[in-house]
Amino acid sequence: MSQTINSILVPTDGSDGARIGARRGIDLAATIGADLHVLSAVDARDIEPDLNADGQTERERLLETEAERAVDSIARLARTHLSGQITTAVESGIPFQAINDYVDTHDIDLIVMGTQGQTGFERVVLGSVAEKTLRTAAVPVVTVTPDGDIVEIGDQRYENILLPTDGSEGADLAIEWGITLAEMYDATVHTLYSVDTSRFGGVEGSAE
């Protein structure tokens, strides 16, 4: 049974890695005709507690301005490719929690995001947010590495999709979503079950 994707969320922090992830999200939204949501979260932990009230307000205003620029940049790119609705938002809070809250309140079907930035600092920050989002999100998350091939939006193709499984309910649900993507792009599906030989006391090798 395939899944329906009507709305896609693209989180961004303004980094190059986030923009690469956003391009994939825009491409997917264009392919299936989904609405696109672009979100940037102002991390309250970045506001120094030792600043006075005026200093904290100015720092928060600066962070909000940077977040607005980040979402506007992605939205401008999306408008040249999408006919569906594009919604932008800036929220305050811990980023992965802000992403999850937005998913819940806006009926999001899928998250598409970069896994890490291209500088050392971006790798730590964006990578941490992506990892926490993967573990806690209530909807599927498509992550995009920064070192993949960059193609024009509308020209992205997925020819082969690998669906690993351990037979669990979670794996079965992931397979449903994988099949959905495969149908959208007319891709070949590969399934894999790998036996963990480490459970057999030093026996080396694997079965597929």
The mean per-residue pLDDT over the stretch 12-38 comes to: 93
Q: What residues contact residue 66 under an 8 Å CB cut-off, 6+ apart?
A: 14
Least confident residue range of 20-34, 108-122, 160-174? 108-122
- Cα angle 97, 16, 110 (rounded to 5 degrees) comes to 45
Question: pLDDT tens digits, residue range 140-173?
Answer: 999 988 776 666 787 888 899 999 999 999 899 9
The tokens for 125 are: 């920050």
87, pLDDT greater than 80: yes
pLDDT band at 12 (very low <50, low <70, confident <90, very high): very high
What pLDDT is stored for residue 127 in this prediction? 65
What percent of the chain is modeled with pLDDT above 70?
80
What pLDDT is stored for residue 46 in this prediction? 62
What pLDDT is stored for residue 202 in this prediction? 55
- DSSP-assigned letters across all residues of the chain: ------EEEEE--SSHHHHHHHHHHHHHHHHHT-EEEEEEEE-GGGS-TTS-HHHHHHHHHHHHHHHHHHHHHHHHHHHTT--S-EEEEEEES-HHHHHHHHHHHHT--EEEEES--SSHHHHHHHHHHHHHHHHH-SS-EEEE-TTSPP--TT-----EEEEE--SSHHHHHHHHHHHHHHHHHTPEEEEE----GGGGSS------
Highest mean pLDDT among 55-59, 143-147, 149-153, 204-208: 143-147
pTM: 0.83
Question: pLDDT tens digits, residue range 64-82?
Answer: 899 999 999 999 999 999 9
Domains of the chain: 7-156 (3.40.50.620), 157-208 (no CATH)
123, pLDDT greater than 50: no
Least confident residue range of 8-12, 84-88, 119-123? 119-123
